[in-house]
Amino acid sequence: MSFFARYKAELLETLAIVLATVLSYLIARALNLAEPFWAVITAAIVARLTARVAVYAAVYRLAATLAGAIYGLLLAFARPSGLPEPLLLPLLVAPLGLLAVFQPRLRAALIAGIIVFSAAAHLDTPVAPALARIMEVGLGAVVAAAISVLFGLIFTLPPRKTRPGAGNP
């Protein structure tokens, strides 16, 4: 059996990841998004050969990003109150960290919250980085899910755990 025949699913999944990341980057650049690589990172995380897994990952990644960005934004608005950052940081990290512990699928909320909170530190309005982060992650999630759905429609393969060389015990 040739390398390509033996590892067809893995190679197709790699192709899906490559297509999703490149397409996310190109669209983000065309839309003049501030950080196109946030879309790329999300596409790399979400893109999978099976559409169901990709859509599931996209929904949770976007939900977590929304939750974290909104919470990070709320705490960014507390900065002008005079509360020092060493006091604000635990208020940011504790609830989002707790969310990540109880719902690991939502662990991106903590990262999004920290990113939005830190990006808003030197801006007149902290809303811009929150919206940018949501748009960039949303773009990557949608593109990766769409590529994965398309690949799922075109290619029919057995589930990964049943294929040789897929890391089965």
Instruction: Show me where the domains of the chain are located.
Output: 7-160
Judged against a pLDDT cut of 60, whether residue 80 lies above it is answered with yes
Judged against a pLDDT cut of 70, whether residue 161 lies above it is answered with no
Judged against a pLDDT cut of 60, whether residue 3 lies above it is answered with yes
- Max mean pLDDT among 23-27, 42-46, 47-51 falls in 23-27
CA dihedral angle for residue 141, residue 106, residue 54, residue 13, rounded to 10 degrees: 90
Report the 3 state secondary structure along 29-52.
Answer: HHCCCCCHHHHHHHHHHHCCCCHH
pLDDT score at 168? 37
What pLDDT band is residue 49 in, cutting at 50, 70 and 90? low
For Cα atoms 158, 144, 105, give the angle at the middle one, nearest 5 degrees.
80
What pLDDT band is residue 169 in, cutting at 50, 70 and 90? very low
Q: For the residues 107-116, what does the mean pLDDT come to?
A: 92
Percentage, residues of the chain above pLDDT 90:
51
Judged against a pLDDT cut of 50, whether residue 109 lies above it is answered with yes
Q: What is the pLDDT of residues 14-25, one digit of tens each?
A: 999 999 999 999
Distance CA 102, CA 106 (A): 9
Q: For the residues 80-101, what does the mean pLDDT come to?
A: 91
Q: What is the pLDDT of residues 120-142, one digit of tens each?
A: 776 667 788 888 889 999 999 99
Distance CA 129, CA 38 (A): 12
Judged against a pLDDT cut of 90, whether residue 103 lies above it is answered with yes
DSSP symbols for 59-109: HHHHHHHHHHHHHHHHHHTTGGGT--HHHHHHHHHHHHHHHHHH-GGGTHH
